[in-house]
Amino acid sequence: GLKALIFDVDGTLADTEEVHRQAFNAAFRAFGLPWSWDQGFYRQLLLVSGGRERIRHFVDTYVPEMAAEGLAAINEIHVRKSALYARMIDQRAARLRPGVERLIDEANSRGLKLVLVTTSSIANAEAVIIANLEPAGLDLFDAIVGGETVANKKPAPDIYRMALERLGLPARACVAFEDSLNGLKAANAAGLRTVVTPSTYTQGADFTGAFALISHLGDPFEPYEHFAGAGEG
Ligand code: XBP
Ligand code: MG
C-alpha cells in the first residue's frame, strides 16, 4: 500500500519561481550587471534546472565574453541570489498553493511519511515551510533532500532515488508530486507515480507520463489567482 508522499517544493508546494526570478534580477543589480530576466525569458531558462547552472548557461549563451571571469563570479552571484530569495520568502512572498496544507495534514494523520525534494537548497525549502507553517512545520517531514546533495539534478532521477533511500521504501509504496516536466521525468525515471499540478511557469507543457494531471490540490472550484495572467512580460 501507500506509505509515503514525496513533494517537490518550487512550483508544487508554493509558486516560488517568480520570487526566484526577482531574486536573480536583484542579485544582478547588486553586482552592477546590466542583466534582467523577464518572465517570458525566465520560462525558457527554467529548462535548465538549478540556479547556478541557469546563470552559467545564460553567461555561456549570451555573454560568452564574461565566461572568462569563471565559476567563482557565478558562484558569488548565486550566493547573493540565495540570500535575497530567502529574505523574500521569510517576508512571506510565496504562500502554499491550494490544498497543500490539507493534504500534508491528512497524510500526516494517516501515518504516511512525507519527504521534500528540491533542486534548490535545503535551506530554501525550509524557508518556504517556516514562512508558511511556522518552524514546527518542519517536524511534519521525515526528510528534505536538496539539490546540493546529488551529483545530477532533475531530470536525472538521483534526487528521487535519494529520497527513496532515505525512506527505506520501494517506489511502488510512494507517490510524487511535481509541477514541471524536468520534475516529472526525474520522478518517473525513479519508478514513481507522479501527480502533476502545473504552476504559473510550467502550465502548458506536455505532461505525458503523469499518473494524474490536475490544476491544483485544492477543492475543484477553489480559485487559484496565480493562473490569471501567468507568464506575461
Ligand atoms: C527548481 C529549480 C531551482 C530554482 C532556483 O526546480 O530549478 O533551480 O529555480 O533555485 P524544482 P536555486 O522545482 O524542479 O526543484 O537558485 O537555489 O537553484
Ligand atoms: Mg518544481
How far apart (Å, rounded) are the C-alpha atoms in residues 216 and 233? 24
Same domain? 215 vs 112: yes
In a domain, 232, yes or no: no
- Residues 209-219 have pLDDT tens digits of 999 999 999 98
CA 64 centroid distance within chain: 28
Residues with a catalytic annotation lie at 8, 10
What percentage of the chain carries pLDDT values higher than 70?
95
In which element (H, E) is residue 182 found? helix 181-189
Residue given cell 495572467 in the structure block = 229
* CATH assignment at residue 30: 1.10.150.240
Domain of 41, in residue numbers: 17-90
Instruction: Say what the pLDDT of residue 32 is.
Output: 95
What is the average pLDDT score of the chain?
A: 94
The answer on pLDDT for 72 being more than 90 is no
Instruction: Say what the pLDDT of residue 8 is.
Output: 98
Around ion ligand 2, which residues have CB less than 5 A away? 8, 10-11, 179-180, 183
Q: In what order do the strands lie in the sheet with 193-196?
A: 143-146, 113-118, 4-8, 174-178, 193-196, 212-213
Total structural domains within the chain: 2
Q: How far is the CA of 108 from the centre of ligand 2 (A)?
A: 22
Same domain? 100 vs 198: yes
Same domain? 168 vs 75: no
Best residue among 42, 53, 54 to mutate for probing ligand 1, ranked by most atoms within 8 Å of CB: 54
Q: How far is the CA of 181 from the centre of ligand 2 (A)?
A: 9
- Residues 154-194 have pLDDT tens digits of 999 999 999 999 999 999 999 999 999 999 999 999 999 99
Same domain? 9 vs 33: no
Pocket of ligand 1 (CB under 6 A): 8, 10-11, 17, 20, 49-51, 82, 118-121, 124, 147, 154, 180, 182-183
Interface confidence (ipTM) of the complex: 0.96
Instruction: Say what the pLDDT of residue 232 is.
Output: 44
The answer on pLDDT for 144 being more than 70 is yes
Q: Of all atoms in ligand 1, which is nearest to the CA of residue 120? A: 17
Of 90, 123, 148, at which residue does a domain stop? Answer: 90
Of 60, 90, 120, at which residue does a domain stop? Answer: 90
> What distance separates the 2 farthest-apart alpha carbons in the chain?
56
The answer on pLDDT for 126 being more than 70 is yes
* Least distant ligand from the CA of 116: 1
Best residue among 47, 120, 194 to mutate for probing ligand 1, ranked by most atoms within 8 Å of CB: 120
Instruction: Say what the pLDDT of residue 189 is.
Output: 98
Whether 142 contacts 108, CB under 8 Å: no
In which element (H, E) is residue 193 found? strand 193-196
Reported as a pLDDT band with limits 50, 70 and 90, residue 226 is: low
Reported as a pLDDT band with limits 50, 70 and 90, residue 70 is: confident
In a domain, 110, yes or no: yes
- Residues 83-98 have pLDDT tens digits of 999 999 999 999 999 9
Same domain? 10 vs 73: no
* CATH assignment at residue 10: 3.40.50.1000
